[in-house]
Amino acid sequence: MRIRGWKQAIAVTAALALALGACGGDDDDDDGADGGGSETTAPGGDGGDGGDASDMTFGLVYDVGGRGDQSFNDAAARGFDQAQEEFGYDTEELEPSAGGENREELLRLLAEQQADLVFAIGFAFADGVTAAAPDFPDVNFAIVDSVVEADNVASLVFAEEQGSFLVCAAAALTSQTGKIGFIGGVEVDLIKKFEAGCRAGAEQVNPDIEIEVQYLSPAGDFSGFNDPAKAREVATAMYEGGADVIYHAAGGSGGGLFEAAAATGRQGEVWAIGVDSDQYLTADATVQPYILTSMLKRVDVAVYETAKAMAEGNFAGGVQTFDLSRDGVGYSTSGDFLGDDVISQLEDLKQQIIDGEIEVPTTV
């Protein structure tokens, strides 16, 4: 649990509530802002003069793994941090227990302490937000990766299939064996969107590409998002089976993929693709030479824009979709491994998607 500028009373209450919970580390990193490159500009540009929401309190509940996962949760943290620095509101950050059973409890805890806005980071909070939001009509909620229909809930969703299309097109353009891999964290519809986009992108540039797919855990078991050892085992088998580029959509498990790639010792021949943030920037130097690119899912942008709207008195419930046209998804170029020819082809595909000439599927 990480506490910032919050009343001591809730700090004590939250600590008790999370006595059996897992606490994430802290890692401040930056990711690329658009499909054509990797930038370190904070979401919202240079920040400007900002506003003053110092009399407000915004809460955020991470999903399992919390800060320090170098992926999904850290992306949310960046947007939350940037908005707090710009608008000056008080903050409270909580993290559920390892199994996530207390997600709703933590949402209610923040709402009961009169938070003005509560973020729920991840689709697994859908039931909790659905149950809690009607009981706290004066509190606004924002949920990432799921849709909850309520006037005081903003549903922040992404076109993950579009970003996945581009990075797997890059995988197919880079592969020398004609075989690539996809590792999903949990076999649920959201992660299948990543798989669907990946398949479409790879087949767009090589109709004969072979794609091996494996999920780390079944629906209902969220351990697949925080099991790097299992991801390493799966990735090792894929590399040994002939795949030379593997893309993961597995949150904190992705570190295992990077370790498996580096363990091959085949630098320049074997590649891994990260997800959610530019994972090249946060990875250990020993695995960086194996990270071809990352699919950027700009959770930071969604969190920042929602917090900004709240701070400025413009919060609105309903669905907000962050796609290629809004820089909500994209790909990174850190490490300069893609090459100008590949980037040129990816940019062409990106524009075709934005223009509606290519429609990326959302189901397998």
User: How high is the pLDDT of residue 77?
Assistant: 95
Confidence grade of residue 69 (pLDDT, cut at 50, 70, 90): confident
Whether residue 361 has pLDDT greater than 60: yes
Residue in the block written with tokens 């082809």 = 345
Q: Domains in the chain and their CATH numbers?
A: 2-159+299-326 (3.40.50.2300), 160-297+329-354 (3.40.50.2300)
pTM: 0.78
Q: Is 48 helix (H, G, I), strand (E, B) or coil?
A: coil
Instruction: Give the integer Cα–Cα distance in Å for 114 and 77.
Output: 21
The pLDDT tens digits for 265-291 are 999 999 999 998 899 999 999 999 999
Could you give the C-alpha distances from 131 to 96, 110, 136, 152, 196, in angstroms and in order? 17, 14, 10, 12, 31
Rounded to an integer, the average pLDDT of 35-41 is 36
Where residue 201 falls among pLDDT bands split at 50, 70, 90?
A: very high
The pLDDT value recorded for residue 149 is 96
256 vs 1, 126, 217, 226, 326, CA distance in Å? 25, 28, 15, 10, 31
Token pair listed for 41:
């500009």
Please state the rounded mean pLDDT for residues 80-84: 96
pLDDT digits (tens, 9 = 90+) for 113-126: 999 999 999 999 99
Q: How many CB atoms lie within 10 A of CB 335?
A: 18
Question: Positive or negative CA dihedral for 76, 77, 79, 80?
Answer: positive
pLDDT value of position 38: 36
pLDDT at 41 over 50: no
Beta strands in the chain (DSSP E): 2-4, 57-61, 90-94, 117-121, 140-144, 153-158, 179-187, 210-218, 245-249, 271-276, 291-297, 318-322, 329-331
Determine the pLDDT at residue 46: 39
